[in-house]
Structure formats: structure tokens, C-alpha cells
Amino acid sequence: MNPLNKIIFLSAFLASGFLLILLSCALFNNYKPLWVILIFLAAPLPNIIANSIESSRDYNFLTFNDYGNSNDSNSSPLQEFCKFVTGVLIISGIALPLSLYHCGLIELGSFIMSASGGLIVYGDIIIFIWFFSSEVEESDEFNF
């Protein structure tokens, strides 16, 4: 797929998520679910920061990246903690509109629209990272 097509598709996908969140606020004249945008935009940041820190570390012959794991996934304690923080943010992005609905501060339609819009925004960010973080595959040794 052409990178330009990917960007156009992902921007339309992101715009639909933001539209759902903004409509959940504007249609019901209650702007409390707007915090969902901030939560879902901050959710992938811990993983991005941890991966960049771990990829920039220099391991010499005195250190190793085993961390006691015998399986193939060698993730550091920092990466595991950041995965936990990301999970907490995703759950709180869904729990915030749910608790606002439970307390009677927003209506059911606003809850459904803000939670689904937030999940669309988060999913779009993850798909964007997945599309554009893949390594360029070499077809032969001359890069043709």
C-alpha cells in the first residue's frame, strides 16, 4: 500500500474518532467526556518512550538483556511497567465515561459515543505506529 494512501486512510479514521467524541459532548450539551481525548492520546506515550529508551541503550559484554526470561520476548522491567501504565490509561479512558454515566452526569448516548470514539482514536494511533515502524524490506543486495 502506498504511504500516502495509508496517511489518508488513517487521517479519516482519526477524524471519525474525534468526531464521535466531540459529538458526544455537543449533542448532549455536556463537555465532561472531552477528557477521553486526552486520556487516549496519552495512552501510547509510555510504550513509545520505553521502546526508545531501550533501543538507545548500549549493551556491552558485561551486561546482557535476559532479565531472567527464558522465552523469546526479552522485555525490560521499564517496558513492562510502561505496558502496565498504558493498560491503566486505556481502561481509565473507558471507565471515565462509564463512571460519568453511572453518576448521571452524562447520558447513555454520550457514553457510547465517547467510549467508542476514544477506542477509535487509540486504535488509529496504534495502527499508525504499526504501519510506519516496519523496517524497509530489501529485495536484493542492491536495494532495487
Domain-located, residue 7: yes
Q: Distance between CA 85 and CA 69 in Å, rounded?
A: 21
Among residues of the chain, what percentage have pLDDT more than 70? 81
Number of domains observed in the structure of the chain: 1
SS3 57: coil
Identify the domain containing residue 20 by its residue range. 3-57+74-132
Domain-located, residue 12: yes
Quote the pLDDT of residue 131. 85
Average pLDDT, the chain: 85
Domain-located, residue 37: yes
The residue whose grid cell reads 525490560 is 76
Domain-located, residue 137: no
Task: Supply the pTM of this predicted model.
Answer: 0.79
Quote the pLDDT of residue 1. 73
pLDDT in tens, 36-93: 999 999 999 999 999 888 888 766 555 555 555 545 467 789 999 999 999 999 999 9
Domain-located, residue 65: no
Quote the pLDDT of residue 64. 55
